[in-house]
Chains A and B, each alone.
Chain A
Amino acid sequence: MDDEFLHHQRLKAAVHFTVGRFCQEIGRDCQKEFSKMAIAAIAETTFRQCDTFAKDLEAFARHAKRTTVTMEDVKLAARRSTSLSNYITQKSEELTSNNKEQKERKKKQTGKRKSADSLPETEAVGNED
Chain B
Amino acid sequence: QQSKGLPKSYIMSTFKHFAKTAVSSDTYPVLKDIMDKYFDRLADDLEAYATHANRKTIEVEDVELLMRRQGFVTDSMPVDVLIEKYLPREYRTLLKPMATSGNKVIPKQRR
Is the A/B pair a real complex? yes
Q: Which residues of A contact B82 (CB under 8 A)?
A: none
Q: Which residues of A contact B85 (CB under 8 A)?
A: none
Q: Which residues of B contact A60 (CB under 8 A)?
A: 52, 65
Q: Which residues of A contact B53 (CB under 8 A)?
A: 63-65
Taking a contact as CB atoms under 8 Å apart, the answer to whether A72 and B52 are in contact is: yes
**Interface residues of B, dominant DSSP:** helix
**Interface residues of A, dominant DSSP:** helix
A54 within 8 A of B: no
B interface residues, tally (CB under 8 Å) = 10
Q: Which residues of A contact B52 (CB under 8 A)?
A: 60, 63-64, 72-73, 76
* Docked complex Cα distance between A79 and B49 (Å): 11
* Docked complex Cα distance between A72 and B54 (Å): 12
* Docked complex Cα distance between A77 and B52 (Å): 11
